Amino acid sequence: MRNLLAAGLLALALVACSGRPSSSPSSALRVVTTTTVFADIVQKVGGSRVVATSIIPPGVGPEDYEPKPDDAVKLADAQLVVSNGVGLDNFLDHLLASGTGGETQRLVLGDGIPTITVDGEPNPHFWLDPMLVKQFYLPAIVTSLSAIEPGGQALYQANADDYAAQLDTLDAELKARIDEIPAANRRLVTFHDAFPYFARHFGFELIGVILANVGQDPSAAELAALVDKVKAAHVNAVFSEAQFSPRLSETLASEAGITHVVTTLYNDALGPPPADTYLGLMRWNVGQIVPALK
């Protein structure tokens, strides 16, 4: 079914690309990323020499994303396609299999990053640890952009160095905020399994997730088992993302006797200001988590 969809998207793309004017400067390197988070990071490294756009719009997650006709149009025009890999954005493989952007250079940001395994599966949410962004994402972006446009290498490296310094500042700031939470309260119950790298880096214990698989509600037995686990851990709050319905989070909190329910986190996608950049997203999330757990 996905192959048929991809083929249909390609056909629409070819029609849509005919005579379509470009709104970006002709000299700019055109980069298409799978998510808004990656588009923001790539844009910071690329600066004025790059125009980075995302296939998935703000506020939408990648795990269950269904491609649209315009997605094929973006890929057909790209000089570099950037994804995360490790199962996060598999929809891209179906699009590329249709022939759309098949010759375009690719960067898979997750390649080579040691993974945390959750329930037997490698977790892809590396970027919620800003030091992984600094250590792995930034050098890979510089290398890929420079391979396409060697004349921009000095600028790309300078921008990456500046952004790395901003990540260091961010990291210290977030750790200082998290230090306000008593160690015994640093326990997270989240809607889906987006936070293992965040938890490891910032010193949280992950108690459980409501959705083991995005798009598939837990059974009554699974929810009851999670309620028991949350009660035993004396968790202070339940956290979910703005892109998901708060219904299950509120149900879990009610049955577990938890009064704090935070449903305004962002992780797979940027949100409205101040969460409309990667740095802003990280500050926003910690700003929501700290008061709920203090």
Q: Residue 84: is its pLDDT beyond 90?
A: yes
| Predicted pLDDT of residue 223 | 93
Do 106 and 194 belong together in one domain?
Answer: no
pLDDT of residue 21: 35
- pTM for the full predicted model: 0.88
Q: What is the mean pLDDT of residues 239-245?
A: 90
- Please name the residue that has the structure tokens 């992780």: 267
Q: Are residues 163 and 236 in the same domain?
A: no
Specify whether 15 is located in the same domain as 155. Answer: yes
Distance between CA atoms of 62 and 13, rounded to whole angstroms?
21
Confirm if 204 and 186 have CB atoms less than 8 A apart.
Answer: yes
Residue 252: predicted pLDDT: 95
Domain endpoint, select from 173, 200, 227? 173
Q: 82 and 147 in one domain?
A: yes
Q: Are residues 222 and 271 in the same domain?
A: yes
pLDDT per position as a tens digit, 122-164? 999 999 999 999 999 999 999 999 999 999 999 999 999 999 9
- Assess whether pLDDT exceeds 70 at residue 86: yes
Residues 192 and 215 in one domain: yes
Residues 42 and 83 in one domain: yes
DSSP class of 194: -
User: Which of 173, 205, 234 represents a domain boundary (last residue)?
Assistant: 173
Share of the chain above pLDDT 70, in %: 89
Of 147, 173, 199, which residue sits at a domain end?
173
Domain that holds residue 192: 180-293
More confident residue, 229 or 15: 229
Task: Please report which confidence band the pLDDT of residue 11 belongs to, taking 50, 70 and 90 as the band edges.
Answer: very low
Predicted local confidence at residue 134, as pLDDT: 98
Considering the chain, what is the average pLDDT of its residues?
89
Number of structural domains the chain divides into? 2
C-alpha–C-alpha distance, residues 230 and 270, integer Å: 29
Same domain flag for 47 and 167: yes
Together in a domain, 147 and 277: no
Higher pLDDT, 67 or 142: 142
Confidence of residue 26 (pLDDT cuts 50, 70, 90): low
Residues 257-291 pLDDT 10s: 999 999 999 999 999 999 999 999 999 999 999 99
Render 205-250 in DSSP notation, one character per residue. EEEEES-SBTTBPPPHHHHHHHHHHHHHHT--EEEEETTS-SHHHH
Return the structure tokens found at 117. 């395994």
Please say if the pLDDT value at position 50 is more than 90: yes
- State whether 10 and 134 are in the same domain: yes
Q: What is the CATH number of the domain that holds 128?
A: 3.40.50.1980
**Residue 183: both structure tokens together:** 């160690």
Residue 6 has pLDDT above 50, yes or no: no
Q: Would you give the distance in Å from CA 153 to the centre of its chain?
A: 26
- Structure tokens, 224: 């009851």
